[in-house]
Amino acid sequence: MGVKRWIPLPKWSPSNEMKAKLVYTTVSRPAKIRRYLSRVIRLFRENGWDLDVVESKKGGDTERWARQSVGRYDVFIVAGGDGTINKALNGLAGSKLSLAILPFGTGNVLALELGIPSNPIKAADRIIHGQPRPFDLGKIGSRYFSMMAGFGLDALVVCRVNLTLKKFIGKTAYILTALQKLPDFHPPKILVNGNGFSEWGRFVVVANIRHYAGRFQLAPRARVDDGFLDVIIFKKGTLGRYLYYLANVLLKRHIFLSDVIYFQTRKINIQQSPLEIFQIDGDPGAGMAASEITIAPGAVQIII
């Protein structure tokens, strides 16, 4: 049941007549941008692509440019990380403008999920010869997400990580933040309910893809086009139990633990007590007492 996977959309023919807007950011990996960006731009233009290139310097630039590009371009290319991609998706959701990804971020989790090469030159070649495919998006409030929404410990880490440190040491900055905050962390009580289901947890992730924080497969049954959200509820919040959960995630056994609940749904409601922050696609979300999360099947097209 659900949407059939990986069905190419009609009337797509990559050619030397493609018009694209490329948005890049130097926030997370400036050295990689300097090394590869000019070569990537040259590759597109050598293949006949009409390319407009702009740098995103402020938080709202990427989403605004994505919205403005609908109807004016064939492809909207993001050269950045998962956070920048999220902003682009929020500008493109519901439109026919295809998104393409050049992984220049810290984690590049979405690119990993989709099998997009980490090398930007190979990723650009994939875009030139690729096909747009339908991709589901989760939605919390008015915001869309491609990967996950997290409540509890991961939200704390995302919201407290030192961004300057992250720029220099990448994903290690999240590990250091977790080690610093975990001993004094008092996890919220998180109520998950919907469709007659109600359960409390201390750490909850609502996922749209398998991968989480890199190569960890937190939601092994998730598919990007199945029309479902994958919900993982970790019921306990002690330091020892968090370490036990982590070990079992590494061993791919966490979904079989008696105090972990895993299920799929199209809509779920999250309530936290006390009110806590949450994260969307690895960026901080706004605090709210209750959050309805839904799935938007095929809300965006991504070139694979």
83 and 165 in a common domain: no
284 and 152 in a common domain: yes
Beta strands in the chain (DSSP E): 19-24, 50-55, 75-80, 98-103, 132-140, 143-145, 148-151, 189-194, 197-201, 203-207, 211-212, 216-217, 229-234, 260-265, 267-273, 278-280, 283-284, 290-303
Radius of gyration of the chain (CA): 19
Q: Is the model more confident about 6 or about 32? A: 32
280 and 149 in a common domain: yes
For residue 117, give its domain range: 19-135
Residue 4 lies in a domain: no
Write the pLDDT tens digit of every residue in 77-125.
999 999 999 999 999 999 999 999 999 988 899 999 999 999 999 999 9
Write the pLDDT tens digit of every residue in 1-16.
444 344 444 445 555 5
292 and 193 in a common domain: yes
Q: Nearest CA to 45 among 22, 69, 61, 62?
A: 22
Residue 2 lies in a domain: no
User: What distance in Å separates the CA atoms of residue 241 and residue 223, rounded to the nearest whole number?
Assistant: 28
End-to-end CA distance of the chain: 24
Pairing of strands 267-273, 290-303: antiparallel
294 and 237 in a common domain: yes
270 and 155 in a common domain: yes
- Indicate left, alpha or beta for 195 from its phi (over 0: left) and psi (-120 to 50: alpha): left
Residue 8 lies in a domain: no
Q: What is the reported pLDDT for 174?
A: 82
224 and 184 in a common domain: yes
User: What distance in Å separates the CA atoms of residue 10 and residue 187, rounded to the nearest whole number?
Assistant: 47
Point out the domain boundary residue: 135, 167, 198.
Answer: 135
User: What distance in Å separates the CA atoms of residue 144 and residue 281, rounded to the nearest whole number?
Assistant: 9
Indicate the helix (H) or strand (E) that contains 168: helix 163-169
Write the pLDDT tens digit of every residue in 159-199.
888 777 777 777 788 888 888 887 788 889 999 998 788 99
Q: What is the reported pLDDT for 8?
A: 44
CATH of the domain at 170: 2.60.200.40
35 and 65 in a common domain: yes
Q: Is the model more confident about 233 or about 239? A: 233
User: What distance in Å separates the CA atoms of residue 237 and residue 272, rounded to the nearest whole number?
Assistant: 14
101 and 148 in a common domain: no
174 and 256 in a common domain: yes
User: pLDDT grade, residue 277 (50/70/90)?
Assistant: confident
Residue 107 lies in a domain: yes
152 and 131 in a common domain: no
Q: What is the mean pLDDT of residues 201-223?
A: 96
Q: What is the reported pLDDT for 6?
A: 42
Residue type at 72 in one-letter notation: R
Q: Nearest CA to 230 among 144, 291, 115, 147?
A: 147
Residue 10 lies in a domain: no
pTM of the model: 0.91
With beta carbons less than 8 A apart as the criterion, state whether 158 and 81 touch. Answer: no
Point out the domain boundary residue: 73, 107, 135.
Answer: 135
Q: Which residues contact 124 (CB under 8 A, 6 or more apart)?
A: 40, 43, 44, 102
Name the domain count of the chain.
2
Residue 157 lies in a domain: yes
Q: What is the reported pLDDT for 209?
A: 98
Point out the domain boundary residue: 135, 151, 179.
Answer: 135
Residue 191 φ/ψ, nearest 5 degrees: -100, 125
Residue 5 lies in a domain: no
Average model confidence (pLDDT) across the chain: 90
